[in-house]
A = this chain, B = another copy of it.
């Protein structure tokens, strides 16, 4: 998966790539999860569940989506899980969107 590389060199990723990352961010629960992950640096699944009032399986699913999108790092820690925001990836997405928006607004 070298998409971020392409992104770095040419200034914007292809529509497919950008859309996929934005899709991972396009759910209120997942945004809330990101906020919580960044606020408390510990971040096991249970913690997020307590914070969110959703079923544990549901939260686990959302976390998986974020991990699959490359926005959150995951590391099993004993019987716990450890989730952590991937700041670089997140900034990448933001930059991609900014590049897209910029290229769309350059004409004025």
Contact = CB atoms under 8 A, between A and B. Distances in A.
B41 A107 contact: yes
Contacts of A18: 25, 28, 31
Judged by DSSP, the binding face of A is: helix
Please state the number of chain copies in the assembly. 2
A15 B38 contact: no
B19 A26 contact: yes
A93 B94 CA distance: 10
Contact of A105 (B19, B41, B90): B90
Interface of A: 14-16, 18-20, 22-23, 25-32, 34-35, 37-38, 41, 85, 87, 90-91, 93-94, 97-98, 100-101, 103-108
